[in-house]
Amino acid sequence: MAILFNERDLLITDERVRTPRREYPIHRVRRAWVSLPESTRGLRLVVTALLVGAVVAVAAWAVASGWLTDHWIAVPLFIVAAAVAGWAGFLDPLAIYLEKRRHDLWIDVDGVAVHVWSDNKVEVNKAVRAIDRARERHRDAQWR
């Protein structure tokens, strides 16, 4: 039995997925996936709507006031400045925040979705890959 992933409250081997509450044989796991918690979905929609609204309002003001016709060169300069800021790492804090948010690991066991574990995006994706590898090993062992 090979250990593919071992983190607090979750152990994935080539035979099973083990949590503090239950153990699931790998041959019963149909798929694994990651999702954000339900509580953050509504907030993301509100923030996205506010940002889109702000961009549309600024664009409408720029066109209506005539500012855009006088300063049209500012648009490509802003795009280049944003690209340089991203390349230089000034946007890294935003990426780190998005990566460290809590994500949920789910598995489908006999047609039932089971919440298995929660952690940051990187760790949860490692667990999903470990489950996928365990399922592949199980399939390969069946054909030998």
pLDDT by residue (tens digit) across 32-64? 999 887 666 666 677 778 888 988 898 888 888
Name which of 4-18, 67-81, 117-131 the model is least confident about.
67-81
Q: Give the list of residues 6+ apart from residue 106 with CB closer than 8 angstroms, or none.
A: 32, 33, 34, 35, 113, 114, 115, 116
Neighbours of 91 (CB within 10 A): 12
Tokens 């995006």 -> residue? 121
pTM beyond cutoff 0.85:
no
Residue 86, pLDDT score: 83
Contact 81, 88 (CB under 8 A): no
What pLDDT shows up at residue 19?
92
Tell me the C-alpha to C-alpha distance, in Å, between residue 20 and each of 7, 10, 57, 110.
12, 7, 51, 20
Q: In sequence order, which ranges of the chain are alpha helices (DSSP H)?
A: 38-65, 67-70, 74-88, 92-100, 121-142
CB-based contact 124:117 (threshold 8 Å) = yes
